[in-house]
Structure 1
Amino acid sequence: MAKYNTLLYYCYSTIADAEQFAADHLKFCKSLNLTGRIIVADEGLNGTVSGTPVACKAYMDAIYADGRFNATEFKIDEVDEPSFVKMHVRYKSEIVHSGLRDPNIIDPKKQTGKHLEPAEFLAMKDDEDVIVLDVRSNYEHSVGRFKNAVTLDIENFRDFPSKINELAKYKDKKILTYCTGGIKCEKASALLLHEGFENVYQLHGGIIKYGKEAGGEDFDGKCYVFDNRLTVDVNSVNPTVVSTCYNCGKATDKMINCANPECNEHFTQCDECGTQMEGCCSASCQSHPRKRVYDGTGYYVKVPQPVNVTKKSKIQLA
């Protein structure tokens, strides 16, 4: 039996007084000794939590006991240790930030692309009239993506709407969207439909469910996840490595955060360069006075940046 479970989930469902719900939910999660990160908004929940199997079952039971969240689908991973250090529950304007909060444009409770189960996605993805569209950010698809997928040059999902014009050339195709767990596709597919794309689909449960139910076939590389694992294996059928070390160019699928907390950049780095660079992306970061101790994992608890400091990405991941 696994020592711990990690649960990935989301649910679009209206929450009255969501800010108070978030405060109460944090207390509940702590009572179960869970760690994780949950976003609460008026439109629903988006979370990853980790704890003992007993605690995780109690959490899932409580979510299902609340009638608002009956549609929640949990992706469950067995892990050797908790996937987070602390428990955070935060109230935000959206459970995934798109920058579009007009319910007349995007409301996943009313309209999204047609959901494809992993087996359906696998059977359909290579058809001539199909475009497989990755709606994730650069650092996510740089370390892993479906073969022949269309990827977008975006730093955050909120940049997705600005790419609609680039996708116009595919309007006569069937668009199959995918992301980590499905939540981004709910809004991405809804926006595509709003913009006149007629045949829009989405991978139900995202890459994580696809790995569990379809063996991850034709997913190259690893899947980026938003916890201290950083990436997870997906493909047990025909795995390959698609990413390279930022420093030396050698093939590697290890992704880390820069040891300089004022950079904290996501990038791929081989173990040799990790040791040599002490987990930093550059010599300037390696000499930074606030550099954190690199333990080989490249994951750190977030350190607040100084006020009025704007982080600018120095790295363009292919």
Structure 2
Amino acid sequence: MEKKYSILLYYCYAEIEDFEAYREEHHLFCIENNLRGRIIISPEGLNGTVSGLKEDCEKYMEYIHSDARFADTEFKEEAHDRMAFAKLHVRVKPEIVHSSLRHINPRKRTGGYVEPEDFKKILAEESEDTVILDVRSNYEHNVGRFKNALTLDIDNFRDFPEKVKELDHLKGKKVVTYCTGGIKCEKASAYLLEQGFENVYQLHGGIIKYGIEAGGEDFEGKCYVFDNRITADVNSVNPSIVSKCFVSGVPTDRMVNCANPECNAHIPMTEEAGWLMDGCCSEECRKHPSRRPYDGTGYYQKNTNHYNPLKGVKREAAKLS
């Protein structure tokens, strides 16, 4: 089956002085070109995952690159058979990835880039002098991670600086960080340098680019992604499953969000267990009065009743009604 849609993953650290006005312009462009996704605009740059027909995604990439501030933005593009988002959100936030590292500017200092093919060689060497460091959260690396990678017990990226205190014994080694698309590594590697680590690098483009350009070899499990897919295949060379069903313990790489919105845990769960538990991680959550109806996917849109994609867009809005 021909895959007529694309999913774009990208980020760009670049100063945006007029971020409120640019948000309006950017939002309107996406509406006019039938794009959906989650886009963050902040004084420090852009971060987005966008979905649409291939030709509309091409227009979007041209739009981004036409702005001198974002001319060097690198897109990770994946083919898909449908829209990966139900809605469009273009939001203004203080940072393009939530962290406790606002003082760090990756445009001034960050870890050196390691391209996918070179990263593959590093994985194959398995040198005791090199550490592969996963800077993602627990629910992400629990479903997929690189072979022999060091993972951190963190629930959010903002907890990363606190965990670095436990890594002092690695300061004499070569440290190569990785994340989903590269954005977290820009600040994580810079912070490691700030804390006295001298030999710090990062996988350029993250797990997604590694899968596209190097076949994803030795990435075990699936990659957690932030769209309707929840997880994505990365490894076309030697794929494996590393996660187990939260309920039954059976190996599975199928991820769901707990149907109890007050829990919303990101957990591996088989289809059978999903239906058995109504998409919940526990009996307590299953009996919760706010439990959302389970449709077999384990993916839930945020509570956006009366959602209006034109909200906050002033210019030309009338023409689109």
TM normalised by structure 1 equals: 0.93
CA distance in 2, matches of 1:57, 1:22: 20
Alpha-carbon deviation of 1:237? 1.0
CA distance in 2, matches of 1:194, 1:19: 31
Q: Indicate whether 1:92 and 2:90 are aligned.
A: no
- Give the ranges of 4+ consecutive aligned residues of structure 1 lying more than 4 Å apart after TM superposition: none
Partner SS state of residue 90, structure 1: strand
**8 A Cα contact 1:113 1:190, kept in partner:** yes
Amino acid at match of 1:94: E
CA distance in 1, matches of 2:25, 2:119: 38
Name the residue aligned to 1:114. 112
Pairs within 5 Å for 1:179-190: 179-190=179-190
Structure 1 vs Structure 2 CA RMSD: 1.1
CA distance in 2, matches of 1:114, 1:19: 32
Name the residue aligned to 2:75. 74
Q: Deviations over 1:75-98 (max 9, x none)?
A: 111111111111001111110111
Name the residue aligned to 2:35. 34
Q: Indicate whether 1:13 and 2:11 are aligned.
A: no
CA distance in 1, matches of 2:197, 2:142: 26
Alpha-carbon deviation of 1:288? 2.1
CA distance in 2, matches of 1:61, 1:24: 15
Pairs within 5 Å for 1:56-67: 56-67=57-68
Amino acid at match of 2:117: A
Pairs within 5 Å for 1:131-280: 131-280=131-280
Name the residue aligned to 1:316. none
Partner SS state of residue 7, structure 2: strand
Partner SS state of residue 46, structure 1: strand
**8 A Cα contact 1:261 1:303, kept in partner:** no
Of residues 121, 124, 132, the one that matches 1:123 is 121
CA distance in 2, matches of 1:135, 1:57: 31
CA distance in 2, matches of 1:16, 1:2: 38
**8 A Cα contact 1:39 1:47, kept in partner:** yes
Amino acid at match of 2:80: V
**8 A Cα contact 2:221 2:243, kept in partner:** yes
Q: Deviations over 1:48-76 (max 9, x none)?
A: 00001111011000000001101111111
Alpha-carbon deviation of 1:182? 0.3
Alpha-carbon deviation of 1:289? 2.5
Unaligned runs of 5+ in 2: 305-321
**8 A Cα contact 1:15 1:43, kept in partner:** yes
**8 A Cα contact 2:35 2:50, kept in partner:** yes
Name the residue aligned to 1:308. none
How many aligned residue pairs are there?
301
Amino acid at match of 1:65: S
Q: Indicate whether 1:43 and 2:38 are aligned.
A: no
